[in-house]
């Protein structure tokens, strides 16, 4: 498994944070160093993941899609079947075990699509911890169903209204909270980004995906796949499925980023590829506690991003992913919002699976690659999450008049109930 | 000149380059100087200022829209250092704009502009150490921060690397909220003094005359930064300077 050199992966990574945060990061790093090679700890984690989240998640063949695309055999690693509906819970359950060992009583997290926030709220409810989730004000509008459930679970969801009001700002705000609260609060960082040891620690817990996949491939077709495709926002699901395969050069690893609406500044979040004729390709920078490829201006201001998928709408990328791309171990690709919606619909109609819009990027990229491969080859797409949370977005992309009529009726019912209860009071 | 250890408490204040506008920076700084401020931070606005609270976050975002940048900060530094040779100007910036410029080049450019020091909140001491010979050569003091939760071994390391003065963060958290100056704080300052002979600049939560009185005899510098920017936002630069003049008169 991949290891950092003092927090660095090649030139990327590190720990560039205000002094106030260093003691908490060092405490976490030391705890992680003690546990990472402890088989007993890993077994404890696997048992929790099995009992609480239904792991191992299946590897599902897709015969209909395979026939239709006419290339490689397509398999899906079903992270959408996790409790909470995405891979995010793997990392959160692992960090929950760390929180218990550190004896902290409160957790905070940033979230984009809301899946990480939801998983953190679930963990906090189960362990009896206070929980605050920071979420960009625009992302709250985009993923309201997750916000609803986080609040039902007892978490405080704080809208962040600075800057572009998305994931980057949510992370800034979580870091600010942690600067004031690290004595009794753990920051459950949701992706393989941020200051050391987070990129390595999150990858460690998420690697359960790839470790299961290794066994499942052997069982299903007696060898490793020819290619694995994952979407890349921060990079945690990608690193989770890729990490155990890094030493197997015959397995091609493809990371699909959000091409958004096109290669204009602020219209996408492609950090690993040259995108169209864009002038503002991502460059090495140091912000939010770590060194990686950031979309940024020439004088070092972080740029704006866009994706149809809130979870991929991020300005930087895991330092591990940046390093693997620089060393050519990972092949970057991207899919536009339009391609993603098409892939979403194709999977739904052909295989009866409703994917998250984030994961639909991996589908769009994976379908393209599968068609280019031979029928004897096997391609695995990491289906990182399910699409229930995207119901409003999908309702607008593929409108049904009945849905609109239902919403009107539901609104009317809610206001009737409100008036009714006022009368009673 | 930066203050000396044991000297009377003086105020350090603040300008965000580009806030409220590039044009207004210089007159605002003139106002601070007239108010008796002899130490002024020039903050390079940044898109993601993680150590700052709402006041400075908002000032940064507006400043960026109005042309604030590292380049305009260096231009402003040149002007104000010439106009006010009796005042020490310090560059305050998050790391990325400086990293993009090149840290070693930046130290040269800062010295050339007449700046006396640099505060980079997200550059830990480990990364400052290799830059010390160049800083010492060019007379740029890397002003390092210590916090209430900094362990002894880091205090020692920071104490060795710090130059000019040591920035003592008064409490956990970000800028712009009140701090307490009780017995615990006094012990904290005593602990810090064991690791440095440099003057101590106390920042984060210095907001009133009462705060300044509490710090008199304990520290050499009190950083009144967020509060000044708050005044600048609500009252305008001129009346904000008048408020600062009241504070300097009070000590």
How many domains, chain A? Answer: 3
Residues A242 and A227 in one domain: yes
* CATH number for the domain harbouring residue A198: 3.40.50.1100
Domain membership flag for residue A15? no
Residues A129 and A161 in one domain: yes
Most B CBs within 10 A among A27, A286, A294, A314, hence the mutation to make, goes to: A286
Give B66→chain A minimum CA distance, Å: 14
- CB-based contact (8 Å) between A184 and chain B? no
From first to last of its 251 residues, chain B has per-residue pLDDT tens of: 689 989 999 999 999 999 999 999 999 999 999 999 999 999 999 999 999 999 999 999 999 999 999 999 999 999 999 999 999 999 999 999 999 999 999 999 999 999 999 999 999 999 999 999 999 999 999 999 999 999 999 999 999 999 999 999 999 988 888 888 999 999 999 999 999 999 999 999 999 999 999 999 999 999 999 999 999 999 999 999 999 999 999 99
Are both A221 and A109 inside the same structural domain?
Answer: no
- Please say if B52 is a catalytic residue: yes
Specify the DSSP class assigned to residue A252. Answer: E
Residues contacting B170, CB < 8 A, separation 6+: B148, B179, B181, B185, B202, B203, B204, B205, B206
Q: Which residues of A touch B50 (CB under 8 A)?
A: 17-18, 172, 175-176, 179, 288-289
CB < 8 Å to A290, chain B: none
Optimal mutation site among A7, A26, A164, A176, interface B, most CBs of chain B within 10 A: A176
Quick one: three-class SS letters along A67-135?
Answer: HHHCCCEEEEEEHHHCCCCECHHHHHHHHHHHHHHHCCCEEEEEECCCHHHHHHHHHHHHHCCEEEEEE
- Contact state of A19 with B95 under an 8 Å Cβ cutoff: no
Q: What is the ipTM of this complex?
A: 0.95
**Phi and psi at residue A379, in whole multiples of 5°?**
-125, 130
| Residues paired with A13 in a beta bridge | A8, A291
Lowest mean pLDDT among A76-85, A243-252, A274-283: A274-283
A168 touches chain B (CB under 8 A): yes
Q: Report if residue A47 sits inside a domain.
A: yes
In terms of Cα–Cα distance, which of A299, A253, A118 is closest to B94?
A: A299
Same domain for A67 and A191: no
What is the β-pairing status of strands A378-383 and B145-146?
A: unpaired
Q: What is d(CA B64, CA A414) in angstroms, rounded to the nearest whole number?
A: 43
Please give the residue of chain A at the shortest CA–CA distance from B60.
A163
Inside any domain, residue A12: no
Q: A194 near A172, Cβ under 8 Å?
A: no
- Domain hosting A306: range is 56-83+207-393
Last residue of a domain, one of A202, A223, A256: A202
Contact yes or no for A302 and B150 at CB 8 A: no
Is position A231 annotated as part of the catalytic site? no
Give residue-wise pLDDT tens across range A88-136: 999 999 999 999 999 999 999 999 999 999 999 999 999 999 999 999 9
Domains of chain B in sequence order: 10-248 (3.20.20.70)
Catalytic residue among B52, B211, B220, B230: B52
B121 phi and psi angles, rounded to 5 deg: -60, -30
**pLDDT tens figures, A65-84:** 999 999 999 999 999 999 99
CA A315 to chain centre: 14
Chain B residues with CB under 8 Å of A286 CB are 95-96, 99, 122
Identify the burial level of A414 via C-beta atoms within 10 angstroms of its C-beta, where 0-12 means exposed, 13-18 middle and 19 or more buried: exposed
Same domain, A89 and A178: yes
Cis geometry, peptide bond prior to residue A197 (ω within 30 degrees of 0): yes
Query: Token match 């998050």: residue?
Result: B94
Whether residue A113 is found in the same domain as residue A98? yes
- Outline where A103-256 has alpha helix (H): 115-127, 137-142, 144-152, 167-181, 198-206, 208-221, 236-242
Gyration radius from chain A CA atoms:
21
Please indicate, yes or no, whether residues A73 and A133 belong to a single structural domain of this protein: no
């Amino acid at each position: 498994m991949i290891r950092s050199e003092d927090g660095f992966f090649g030139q990327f990574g590190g720990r560039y944070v205000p002094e106030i945060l260093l003691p908490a990061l060092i405490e976490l790093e030391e705890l992680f160093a003690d546990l990472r090679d402890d088989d007993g700890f890993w077994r404890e984690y696997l048992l929790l993941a099995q009992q609480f989240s239904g792991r191992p998640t299946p590897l599902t063949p897709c015969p209909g899609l395979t026939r239709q695309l006419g290339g490689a055999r397509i398999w899906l690693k079903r992270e959408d079947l996790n409790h909470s509906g995405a891979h995010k819970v793997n990392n959160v359950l692992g960090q929950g075990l760390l929180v218990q060992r550190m004896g902290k009583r409160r957790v905070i997290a940033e979230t984009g699509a809301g899946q990480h926030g939801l998983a953190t709220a679930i963990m906090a409810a189960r362990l009896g911890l206070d929980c605050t989730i920071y979420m960009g004000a625009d992302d709250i509008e985009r993923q309201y169903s997750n916000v609803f459930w986080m609040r039902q679970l007892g978490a405080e969801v704080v809208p962040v209204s600075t800057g572009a009001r998305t994931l980057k700002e949510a992370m800034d705000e979580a870091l600010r909270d942690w600067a004031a609260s690290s004595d009794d609060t753990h920051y459950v960082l949701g992706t393989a980004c941020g200051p050391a040891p987070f990129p390595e620690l999150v990858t460690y817990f998420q690697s359960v995906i790839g470790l299961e996949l290794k066994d499942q491939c052997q069982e299903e077709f007696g060898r490793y796949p020819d290619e694995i495709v994952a979407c890349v926002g921060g990079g945690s699901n990608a690193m989770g499925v890729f990490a155990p395969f890094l030493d197997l050069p015959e397995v091609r690893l493809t990371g699909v980023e959000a091409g958004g609406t096109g290669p204009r500044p602020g219209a996408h979040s492609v950090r690993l590829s040259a995108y169209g004729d864009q002038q503002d390709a991502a460059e090495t920078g140091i912000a939010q506690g770590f060194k990686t490829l950031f979309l940024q201006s020439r004088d070092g201001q972080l740029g704006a991003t866009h994706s149809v998928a809130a979870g991929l709408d991020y300005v930087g990328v895991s330092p591990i992913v940046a390093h693997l791309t620089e060393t050519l171990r990972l092949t970057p690709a991207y899919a536009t919002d339009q391609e993603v919606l098409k892939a979403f619909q194709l999977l739904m109609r052909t295989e009866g699976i409703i994917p998250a819009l984030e994961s639909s990027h991996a589908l769009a990229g994976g379908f393209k690659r599968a068609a280019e491969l031979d029928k004897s080859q096997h391609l695995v797409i990491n289906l990182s999450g399910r699409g229930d949370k995207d119901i409003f977005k999908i309702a607008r992309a593929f409108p049904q008049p009945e849905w609109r009529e239902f919403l009107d009726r539901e609104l009317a019912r809610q206001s009737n109930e409100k008036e009714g209860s006022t009368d009673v009071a | 000149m930066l203050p000396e250890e044991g000297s009377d408490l003086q105020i350090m204040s603040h300008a965000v380059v580009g806030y409220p506008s590039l044009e207004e920076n210089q007159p605002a700084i003139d106002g601070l100087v007239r108010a008796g401020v002899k130490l002024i931070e020039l903050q390079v606005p940044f898109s993601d200022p993680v150590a700052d609270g709402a006041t400075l976050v908002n000032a940064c975002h507006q400043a960026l829209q109005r042309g604030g940048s590292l380049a305009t900060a260096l231009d402003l530094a040149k002007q104000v250092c010439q106009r006010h040779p009796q005042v020490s100007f310090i560059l305050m910036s998050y790391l990325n704009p400086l990293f993009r410029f090149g840290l070693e080049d930046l130290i040269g450019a800062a010295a050339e502009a007449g700046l006396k020091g640099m505060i980079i909140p997200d550059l830990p001491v480990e990364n400052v150490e290799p830059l010390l010979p160049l800083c010492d050569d060019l007379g740029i003091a890397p002003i390092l921060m210590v916090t209430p939760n900094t362990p002894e071994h880091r205090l020692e390391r920071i104490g060795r690397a710090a130059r000019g003065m040591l920035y003592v963060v008064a409490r956990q958290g970000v800028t712009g909220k009140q701090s307490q100056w009780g017995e615990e704080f006094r012990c904290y300052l005593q602990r810090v003094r064991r690791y440095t002979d440099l003057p101590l600049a106390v920042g984060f939560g210095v907001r009133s005359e009462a705060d300044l009185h509490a710090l008199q005899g304990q520290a050499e510098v009190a950083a009144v930064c967020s509060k000044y920017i708050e005044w600048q936002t609500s009252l305008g630069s001129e009346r904000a300077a008048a408020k600062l003049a009241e504070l300097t008169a009070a000590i």
